[in-house]
Structure 1
Amino acid sequence: MNRSPLPDDIPIAFSVAAARDAGVSASRLRASDLRAPFRGVRTHQTDTRDDARASVRRRVQEYAAVMPASQFFCLSTACVLWGAPIPPGLLRHRDEAGAFVEHPLDVGVFLPDRASRTRGVRGRSIAPGWADVVTGPVDGIRLTSPASTWAMMGQVISEDELVILGDALVRMPERDTDPPPLATIDDLRRAVEVGRRPGVLRIREALPFIRTRSWSPQETRTRLVLVRDARLPEPELNWPVLVDGAVVANIDLAYPDLMLGFEYDGEHHMTDAAQWSKDIRRTEMLADLGWRIMRVTKRDLDTLRGPFVARVRSRVLRAAGRRSS
């Protein structure tokens, strides 16, 4: 079937009202080459087989075509837009047939406005003062600020997950090319102090554990295990090892006085031969400098946490004994 072309200036996702104003007929808007992801929205994009975060970003662009000025993205959706880590289960789940089911977008309004009931959207009514709303750096989309987003997530995720999220938002750049932090610890503290918002007890508990030098969620998890489970002093984060005044390595977590460090190995460290070889050479180099390195895996932090804590405590006691002898 020959279909009339859409105007050149029509974006990938557009409102039906804007298309009609541009002269597009009602029948053309019903054609099978267009999808209707939300009421009053059409999009050219027909392939929706994207990952969880890409799916959120795509659907945000689609809903933004008709989103009223009083609404803004919040909670898990805002986390994705800020590029912040949250549990994948907040974005999608598998149904009984094993197919992915996308969770609705989180869209907020300030009371007394009524939350959206649009299909594909989870409307949230938010008390004035509980959130700062900003214009995002991409496409001018309205969403809660990083600090407000973190505080609002206190009603959704665990204390440890709040620490992971907070660490990511306040992370200082590792390299000159890295972006600046999205928030400061003072920003998070001010968000905690706005009043008795949902989840306030959880964010109050998480705030003291947030640090600016944790460079990955698993580094944060390792630190929390060392401090909370093993009841050890807080380690230094991404400790620079110097040789002749030059940094030759940054150890994920370290007790410099004991010359004991911890390095988290993700799955790519084990499946990438080049990375594995690089890790071995790096560990040997640190050993030559007097460092003892414990390698940490996901299993150590999950199913084998008890044995891992026992090994850590034993290693710390031995290192302390060597130092005192």
Structure 2
Amino acid sequence: MPAAVDPGDPDQRIVEAAAQLPGRGGVTGWAGLRWMGGSWFDGVDRHGTLAPVPLAVGSGHRRRVHPGLVVSQEVLDLTTVVRHEGVRVTVPLWSVAYEMRKATSDTAAVVAFEMAAYDDLVSIEELTRFTDSSLWLRWGVERVRRVLPVLEENSWSPMEPVMRLAWTLEEVRPRPLANWPVFDLNGRFVGTPDLIDPVAGVYGMYDGGLHLAGEVRHRDVTKEAAYRRLGLEGAVMMAGDLADHSPFLARLDQAYARAGRRRADDRLWMAGPPRWWVPTSTVAQRRALSDDERSRYLTYRHAA
């Protein structure tokens, strides 16, 4: 007997949704991004509920109700839809803009963009141009414009932008760098904290349920000890801080206070990477890598 199809499998849901498309249009939003290679888009919301598959069908088509689908009848430019691996999808810029415009909050919109940028599907520059040239006065475009200045292209997981936005919420701390590599004064690579203010010497790490025990926790503790030896002070955001950021911000303020009391000769980290380091913090830098370079320089992101 053939194996049973998992009704929650996101790829199966996308294929079945695409079969409901009319003569034009395409799968969009999270589903379009996943089909184009977005590894962080699984169609499950933060409550564990299956999100509907969004379909962009353009204007002039009757809205048909299907379970598990949501239909957008916004006017589509002919260049908006492409066929990829047998499925019609909207181009990544349209898909991510759709996801950002329909997001439940500005933070969710930022997360959507940054997880698409993780796989180099979109860049900030491209989204800026697309917003001005193609979104016009569409519903929700004001949110896209509002969050453009705070977007980042080097987040490695969905909780990192959440932590960064909390870090800068009160506008009293400098915007930290995302996944900036840390080196000792001899140029030896030490680690890559989720966020870091390299001037103050303060870093931030997100510690979710995955980090509570076993090899991941051992690796985290080892990293924390290495950062302390360099004179860096850290603050951890935990899953319990997501609803109320104040405990994390209190820990962050304490880290800044400790860092401020350190002497100059206690600062044993380099201000930036050594010259031999190959930068991969922007979409443009990663797109310029060869396949071999990507396998060497980007694989570590999955284990971070």
Which TM-score applies when normalising by structure 1?
Answer: 0.70
The answer to whether the 8 Å contact 2:176/2:195 transfers is yes
1:40-99 deviation digits (Å, cap 9, x = unpaired): xxxx6644354xxx2x32122234456444131123432443334488348974xxxxxx
1:105: which partner in 2? 53
1:4: which partner in 2? none
Counterpart of 2:235 in 1: which secondary structure?
strand
2:39: which partner in 1? 83
Report how far residue 112 of structure 1 moved.
2.6
Structure-1 separation of matches of 2:48 and 2:192: 35
2:237: which partner in 1? 296
Amino acid at match of 1:58: Q
Structure-2 separation of matches of 1:89 and 1:130: 31
Residue in structure 1 matching 2:197, options 255, 258, 265: 255
Structure 2: runs of 5+ lacking an equivalent: 266-304
Structure-2 separation of matches of 1:104 and 1:148: 17
1:146 aligns with 2:92: yes
Residue in structure 2 matching 1:245, options 187, 192, 195: 187
Structure-1 separation of matches of 2:43 and 2:22: 29
Q: How does 1:6-85 map onto structure 2 within 5 Å?
A: 46-48=4-6, 50=8, 54=9, 56-65=10-19, 67-81=21-35, 82-85=38-41
* 111-120 vs 218-227, which moves further: 111-120
1:212: which partner in 2? 153
Q: Do the aligned partners of residues 132 and 320 (structure 1) sit closer, same or farther apart at CA in structure 2, a change above 3 Å counting?
A: farther
Residue in structure 1 matching 2:120, options 158, 181, 198: 181
Counterpart of 1:192 in 2: which secondary structure?
helix
Q: Percent identity?
A: 25
Counterpart of 2:89 in 1: which secondary structure?
strand
Report how far residue 321 of structure 1 moved.
4.4
Q: Do the aligned partners of residues 155 and 279 (structure 1) sit closer, same or farther apart at CA in structure 2, a change above 3 Å counting?
A: closer
Amino acid at match of 2:116: L
The answer to whether the 8 Å contact 1:79/1:86 transfers is no
2:130: which partner in 1? 191
Counterpart of 1:258 in 2: which secondary structure?
coil
Q: Do the aligned partners of residues 233 and 131 (structure 1) sit closer, same or farther apart at CA in structure 2, a change above 3 Å counting?
A: farther
Report how far residue 228 of structure 1 moved.
1.0
Structure 1: runs of 5+ lacking an equivalent: 1-32, 34-43, 94-101, 172-179
Structure-2 separation of matches of 1:148 and 1:84: 17
Counterpart of 1:251 in 2: which secondary structure?
coil
Structure-2 separation of matches of 1:213 and 1:92: 26
Counterpart of 2:217 in 1: which secondary structure?
helix
Report how far residue 320 of structure 1 moved.
2.7
Counterpart of 1:107 in 2: which secondary structure?
strand
Counterpart of 1:134 in 2: which secondary structure?
strand
Structure-2 separation of matches of 1:233 and 1:263: 16
Structure-1 separation of matches of 2:69 and 2:215: 44
1:17: which partner in 2? none
Residue in structure 1 matching 2:215, options 250, 259, 274: 274
1:127 aligns with 2:75: yes
2:297: which partner in 1? none
Q: Do the aligned partners of residues 83 and 116 (structure 1) sit closer, same or farther apart at CA in structure 2, a change above 3 Å counting?
A: farther
Q: Do the aligned partners of residues 155 and 61 (structure 1) sit closer, same or farther apart at CA in structure 2, a change above 3 Å counting?
A: closer
The answer to whether the 8 Å contact 1:264/1:297 transfers is yes
Structure-1 separation of matches of 2:181 and 2:72: 44
1:8: which partner in 2? none
1:313 aligns with 2:253: yes
Q: How does 1:219-234 map onto structure 2 within 5 Å?
A: 219-229=160-170, 231-234=172-175
Q: Which has the higher contact order (CA 8 A, sep 6+)?
A: 2
1:155 aligns with 2:102: yes
The root-mean-square deviation of aligned C-alpha atoms, in Å, is 2.9
Q: Do the aligned partners of residues 323 and 114 (structure 1) sit closer, same or farther apart at CA in structure 2, a change above 3 Å counting?
A: farther
Amino acid at match of 1:248: V
Structure-2 separation of matches of 1:274 and 1:201: 43
Counterpart of 1:166 in 2: which secondary structure?
helix
Counterpart of 2:57 in 1: which secondary structure?
strand
Aligned length, in residue pairs: 259
